[in-house]
Amino acid sequence: VAVVVPAAGRGERLGGGLPKALRPLAGEPLLVHAVRTLAGAPSVDRIVVAGPRDQLDVVVDLVRHALGDGPAVTVVAGGESRQESVAAGLAVLDESVDVVLVHDAARALVPVEVVERVVAGVRAGADAVVPVVDVTDTVRRVLAEGGSAVVDRAGLRIVQTPQGFPRHVLVGAHERARRAGGEPATDDAVLVERAGGRVTLVEGSTDGFKITHPADLAAAEALLTARGSQ
C-alpha cells in the first residue's frame, strides 16, 4: 500500500507567505502532521510526497526528520494543479504496489482509522473508496433561471481524503484524464468514475477537514490541544 500526498499547493486562501504544507500547526508543518499519521497506519508501506517544486530540499529534510525509520518516503516535484501533483507521485510507484491512497497534506489531522477503512474498502474489491461526512449546513442551489432552491441535505455527503484505489485503476484514470485535457479534477475518485469505475463511500471523520482558510488552522490547533488533553 502506497500513499501519494499532494502537498505542492500555494495555500493562497490560507495566506502567510509559505506553501500551505509548510505552514506550522502547533509548531510543526502541516505536512509533518499528515505524513506522521500515514506512516503510523498499520497498512501503509510507502509514501510519496509531491512537494512545492522550489522547496523540495526543505520537504525532504522535514519528512526524514519526522519519520526516521518509518515507511519509505519519496519526495517528487508537484505540478501546476493537484491532479498533476498526484500524477507525478503515481509515476514513481513501482509495479509491486497494488493499493494506492491519495491524501491531501492539507487534511493534516485525519485519524488513522479512516486510513485503514479506506484500505479495507479497496481490498474488498472497490474501484474507488471515498471517505465522506454528512453536510451540517443547510444548502441552496443557485438556479440558472434566477433565484435559488433549498437542496435536501440528507442526500448529500462531503468528500474527504484519503481516497483509495487499486493502483492500475488510478493510473489508468489519470492517464485517460491527461489525454482528455480540460479542467483538472479536484479529487481522484471523479477521474476513476469518468473512466467507468464505481465509487464506494465509507465513513470519514470531522477531524479530516481540509485546512483551507485561517480559521481552519485555528480549529486544527484547538483539535490538537483537545487530543493532547484526552
- Told to check if 80 binds ligand CTP by CB under 6 A, we report yes
Measured from the CB atom, the residue of 21 and 67 that comes closer to ligand CTP is 21
Measured from the CB atom, the residue of 33 and 167 that comes closer to ligand CTP is 33
| Residue 141 Cα distances to 66, 149, 153, angstroms | 43, 5, 11
Q: How far apart are alpha carbons 191 and 132 in whole angstroms?
A: 17
Give Cα 168 distance to the centre of its chain: 19
For cell 500524477, what's the residue?
87
What are the grid coordinates assigned to 149, written together? 432552491
How many other CB atoms are there within 10 angstroms of residue 148's CB atom? 9
Question: Which one of 5-13, 108-116, 128-136, 168-176 is the stretch in contact with Mg ion (CB under 5 A)?
Answer: 5-13
- CB-count exposure of residue 201 (10 Å: 0-12, 13-18, 19+): middle
- Footprint (CB under 5 A) of Mg ion, residues 9-48: 9
- Footprint (CB under 6 A) of ligand CTP, residues 4-63: 6-14, 20-21, 50
- Told to check if 105 binds ligand CTP by CB under 6 A, we report yes
Measured from the CB atom, the residue of 81 and 205 that comes closer to ligand CTP is 81
What are the grid coordinates assigned to 108, written together? 493534516
Q: Which of 134, 133, 125, 124 is nearest to 197 (CA)?
A: 125
How many other CB atoms are there within 10 angstroms of residue 230's CB atom? 4
- Told to check if 67 binds ligand CTP by CB under 6 A, we report no
- Told to check if 162 binds ligand CTP by CB under 6 A, we report no
- Told to check if 197 binds Mg ion by CB under 5 A, we report no
Question: Which one of 2-10, 37-45, 90-98, 216-224 is the stretch in contact with ligand CTP (CB under 6 A)?
Answer: 2-10
Sketch the per residue contact string, 115 through 154, with Mg ion: x for CB under 5 A, - otherwise: ----------------------------------------
